Structure 1
Amino acid sequence: MNMLLSCDWGTSALRLNLIDAKSGQIMTGERSDSGIAKTFELWKATNITDENSRIAFYLDVLQQLISNIETRLSVSLNGVKLFISGMASSSIGFIELPYSQLPFALSGPGLQVKHLPAPEGFNHAISMISGVRSADDVMRGEETQLIGCVEAIESTAVNQVFILPGTHSKHIYVHQNNITGFKTYMTGDLFELLSQKSILHNSVEKENDIEAAEHALSFKQGVTDAAGGNLLHAIFKVRTNNLFNVYTKKQNFFYLSGLLIGTELKDLAVNSKDQFHLLCGAGLEKCYRMAFEQLNMAKQLKTYPPQWVDEAVVRAHHKIYNQIGN
């Protein structure tokens, strides 16, 4: 069977899928927390600065996942082509590539793609997909995810904004199927820092059930406070909420989440005629949808099945594979 390996290597996670190269259907996949940031730190700890050793180190991480698939399916994947997008082509990846420029056509021809023959000890030719830059912002991976979504999204809106939540959330502005601008929000990164490494970490306790009434209440209050106040002041209320028994630590967890997501989304309130598309996994989808409702912008919002969103990079890789003539 003609097969293809599709790798989405983000800042904090690594996803590898084996797909049918003809149909684009996923056959099986592997997931790992060995994101580019973690892999880069592990490589630096080796104190080896040779670039060939760096490439080999990163490819060893991928080889472990490929070997897991081979073992599970009892097949050899030697010679199967590998497509990689995300942070792998960044300054902390294993090969840094230049960015594509705006405006960027979502049909895909403007992508910077570097084709590498199979490196020694790694039996897979590699196609590395780079990111996109503006005058003051960059993204790697989200543009590929969007390529895998736009063809199936129907909208009559002239201007569309695609929201891709995550460690570094992206708001991507699209006009006539071209990316015309985007903004990065360090929402997830800041939430981790504040909830785990600041004075606030003793005032919150991790909880996943945002739909519980008491959790939804505190989350919505965080969104409201973010929309009408100063974030640097509002985040200290996480501590006083705990000191004065306003919220439990679990409620406070969602209050902090609401503050940060509300701060991210309030920029969109000025785009009252735009169509918003939310592209994210199941956990964050509930939070962002609730925040849109609290900000009275739910009528402009379209959401999509989380699994379909998760598979967007695979669809994009399959499309690019066909575009370049296999």
Structure 2
Amino acid sequence: MSDPAETAAGTAYVALADWGTSNFRLWLVDRDGQVLGECQSPDGMSACAADNRFAAVLEKNLADLSAPASLPVVIAGMAGARAGWMEAAYVETPAPLAHLQNHAVSPSASRPVHILPGLCQKVTGPFDVMRGEETQLAGAAATGHPTGLFCLPGTHSKWVDMRDGTVLRFRTSMTGELYELLSKQSILRLSIAATDRSTPDHPVFAEAVQQALGEGFSLTANLFSIRAAGLLSTPVENEAAARLSGFLIGAEIAAMRDFFTPGDAVHLIGSESLNALYTKALALAGAKPETLDGSALVRNGLFAAARALLATH
């Protein structure tokens, strides 16, 4: 008898889902991890938690890809949060990423569903948590980058020290969230339009990064100068946005100097626009940035966990 998971959707072997706070992504893959079909929707945890639509959203997206009824699913991200579908408790650092699937949980569903855990830090550094990024890191470890320093820029940027596929320690910086709050809800909103964007080639961005990397720099003591410059001079296009972005990213990198020294490689896993900004800023700090494909990494990490899970189920 043929494997039920291979009776539809080509030769689908497993479904892989990345369930974030705002977005949901799903891939059908074959036994070699090749993508046979994929879809994305805005049905993140925030949209599903109130009326517990996790199972319904999953099944709708699987149906859209003509996935067989028995196809197993491996999920990473906010579906495993306390307010998600079913809590998958954090695994404490130091955490071997190849063992994450050993801590997966399975909610009641019409098909096999496995939700992977996130990571937490209690003793290897200040209290910290991540949920979702660990799957990208597992993908990096599985595809030739088991050791190194990783920076995952975003709303809450993560800096991760990994050795031989084990996360030793990590730190979170609220850089992206601070940019949103300051540019839209503080007095700086009067200087930064909603359409303004920072780019790595803006001369003010590099200037602000270098200021923030300097000894004795105080973020809170420099922020108001952005507004003052708008009142006392004629800023060039996007100057305020570039300065705010440079101050925040530069301050973030300066705060992570115990993770790296000049000349060290830093693996970047983020959006194209953020990777470009961090590449410029890290180079100014003396690091050697290297960009990795975050979407491919999350699939690779999920697939590695799926193979281990399904081998024992």
Correspondent of 2:156 among 164, 168, 178: 168
SS at match of 1:114: coil
Structure-2 separation of matches of 1:242 and 1:97: 48
Distance 1:92 1:154, change over 3 A: closer
Please name the residue that 2:206 is paired with.
220
CA distance in 2, matches of 1:208, 1:6: 34
Q: What CA deviation, in whole Å up to 9, does each residue of 1:170-224 have, x standing for no partner?
A: 101113432111001111111111122222222113345725x5xx212112212
Amino acid at match of 1:13: N
1:319 and 2:304 are equivalent in the alignment: yes
Decide whether the 8 Å contact of 1:168 with 1:189 is kept in 2: yes
Q: Could you report, residue by residue, the CA deviation over 1:228-250 in whole angstroms, capped at 9, with x for unpaired residues?
A: 32111222222123223353452
Structure 1 SS opposite 2:154: coil
Q: How many residues align?
A: 292
Matching residue's letter, 2:228: T
Q: What's the offset of the Cα at 1:286?
A: 0.5
- The equivalent of 2:222 in structure 1 is 234
**Runs of 4 or more off by more than 6 Å in structure 1?**
none
Alignment correspondent of 2:20: 10
Question: Measured at CA, do residues 14 and 202 of structure 1 come closer, stay the same or move farther in structure 2, by a change above 3 Å?
Answer: farther
CA distance in 2, matches of 1:26, 1:164: 24
- The AA in structure 1 aligned to 2:243 is Y
Q: What aligned pairs does 1:92-131 form with structure 2 within 5 A after superposition?
A: 92-108=83-99, 111-118=102-109, 123-131=110-118
Counterpart residue type for residue 272 of structure 1: T
The 2-side partners of 1:33 and 1:245 are apart by 42
Distance 2:17 2:34 in 1: 14
- State the Cα deviation string for residues 93-128 of structure 1 (Å, max 9, x = none): 22222111211113235752012342xxxx432100
Per-residue CA distance 1:12-59 (angstroms, 9 max, x = gap) = 332222222x0111223222334324544xx1xxxxxxxxxx43x233
For 2:137 and 2:40, how far apart are their aligned partners in 1? 21
The aligned counterpart of 1:35 is: 44
Q: State yes or no: 1:143 paired with 2:139.
A: no
Mapped to 2, the partners of 1:171 and 1:79 lie a distance apart of: 38
1:237 & 1:34 partners in 2: Cα distance? 40
Contact persistence 1:218–1:247 (CA under 8 A)? no
Q: Secondary structure at the match of 1:5?
A: strand
Q: Deviations over 1:254-279 (max 9, x none)?
A: 22111111111112334317542112
Please tell me whether the aligned partners of residues 225 and 234 of structure 1 are also in contact (alpha carbons under 8 angstroms): no
1:65 — aligned with what? 61
What do you get for the CA RMSD once the two structures are aligned?
Answer: 2.4
Distance 1:125 1:28, change over 3 A: same
Residue 232 of structure 2 corresponds to 244
Structure 1 residue aligned with 2:8: none
Match of 1:194 among 182, 200, 211: 182
Given that 1:108 and 1:147 are in contact with CA atoms closer than 8 Å, whether structure 2 keeps it comes out as no
Partner of 2:79: 88
Query: Does the C-alpha gap of structure 1 residues 239 and 152 become closer, same or farther in structure 2, counting only changes over 3 Å?
Result: same
1:210 equivalenced with 2:210 (yes/no): no
In 2, the alpha carbon distance for the partners of 1:258 and 1:38 equals: 33
Name the counterpart of 1:50: none
- Asked if the contact 2:85–2:107 (Cα under 8 Å) also holds between the matched residues in 1, the reply is no
Alpha-carbon distance in 1 for matches of 2:198, 2:182: 20
Matching residue of 1:48: none
Secondary structure at the aligned position of 2:17 is classed as strand
* Runs of at least 5 residues in structure 1 that lack an aligned partner in the other structure: 44-53
For 2:286, the equivalent position in structure 1 comes to 296
Distance in 1, Cα, partners of 2:119 & 2:74: 17
SS in 1 for 2:233: coil
Aligned equivalents of 1:178 and 1:203: distance in 2? 44
Candidates 98, 116, 133, aligned match of 2:120: 133
Which consecutive unaligned segments of at least 5 residues does structure 2 have?
Answer: 1-10
Q: Judge conservation of contact 1:13–1:35 (CA < 8 Å) in 2.
A: yes
1:153–1:258 CA distance, 2 compared to 1 (3 A) = farther
The 2-side partners of 1:91 and 1:249 are apart by 43
Structure 1 position 76, deviation (Å): 4.5
| Whole-Å separation in 2 of the counterparts to 1:151 and 1:30 | 24
